[in-house]
Amino acid sequence: MDNIRYKRKITVLRKKLDEGSVREIIEEKKTSVFRSMLKKPSKDQVHLDALKLLYEVILIVSGKYAADYYRNAKHTINVDSNVKEVVIGKGIFPIKSKSTFLKKLQRSSSKNKVELNLDEHVFINEEETLSFDHHGNEIKFPFKINSETVENYPSKILDINEKNLKKLEISYEKVIGKFETKLKKLLAPNPKQLQDELTINEVNEVYVPIYEARLVGPKKKVELLRIDAIRKKII
C-alpha cells in the first residue's frame, strides 16, 4: 500500500443556506424531533440552545484494478449418443453416467453430455469511483462537484472553521484498502497464477456544510436537528 502514489485533493462544497434561513427551518421543524407516540410538544416547549455550522468530510476515491489470472471452470457439452468420451490434448473426459431409467427412455438420436473441467484465462480491467463517509463506510455521493458548487478557496474556509470540522476517523490507507477489497470481489475464488495491480488516480477530501442545532425540549431532553446546507433538507 505504501508504494501506491496518487493525487490528493481538497474540496469544500458551497452552502446554499444562510443562518437566517436555517433558523426558520429549525423553528418550523423543531418539535418533530421530540415526537413520541404520535404526539409532539408545542413550539413554546422547545427552544434552540446552540447552532453551529459543521463541515463533514466525504472521501472520494477513484482508481483502476487490473488482474490477469486463471480460474477453474466446468463446462458441459452435448455429444452424439454413441460417443463414450472426449479427448482434448492429454485430457480424457468420459460422458456423464445415466440412470438405468434414463437409458431405457433414451432414443438413438438423443445426446450424451460431457463435463469438461478446464482452466479459463481471465482478464479484469475495472475503473471505479467510490465514496466513503468520515467513519470509512461506503456511501452514495449525493452532490455535484463543479465550478458552481465548490468554494474557490477551500483552505481558507477550513482554517476559519477548524474547530467545527468532522475529519476522517480512519487513515487514507484503510479507505484505499476498502476500495481495493471492493474491486477484488470481481476475482473468482482461489485464482491461480494471479498477477494484479491497483492504481489510485485521485483521493478527493470533500467537506460538506451541515448545520447542527442543539434543541432542548420538555423535561430538559436534548435532541439534535441536522440540516444539509446544500440540499436544504433535514438529515
Query: How, if at all, do strands 7-12 and 192-216 pair?
Result: parallel
Residues ≥6 apart with Cβ < 8 Å to 84: 94, 95
Q: What is the pLDDT of residues 195-218, one digit of tens each?
A: 999 999 999 999 999 999 999 999
Question: pLDDT-derived band of residue 82, with 50, 70 and 90 as boundaries?
Answer: confident
Lowest mean pLDDT among 1-5, 37-41, 222-226: 1-5
> Tell me: the pLDDT tens digits for 28-59?
999 999 998 888 899 999 999 999 999 999 99
Residue spans of the domains in the chain: they are 7-67+124-234, 69-121
Q: Provide mean pLDDT across the span 79-88.
A: 88
pLDDT band at 108 (very low <50, low <70, confident <90, very high): low
Confidence class for position 107, pLDDT limits 50, 70, 90: low
How far apart, in whole angstroms, are the C-alpha atoms of residue 108 and residue 105? 10
All three cell numbers of 53? 455550522
Give me the amino acid identity at 228. D
Of the pLDDT bands very low, low, confident and very high (cuts 50, 70, 90), residue 106 is: low
Three cell numbers, residue 20: 437566517
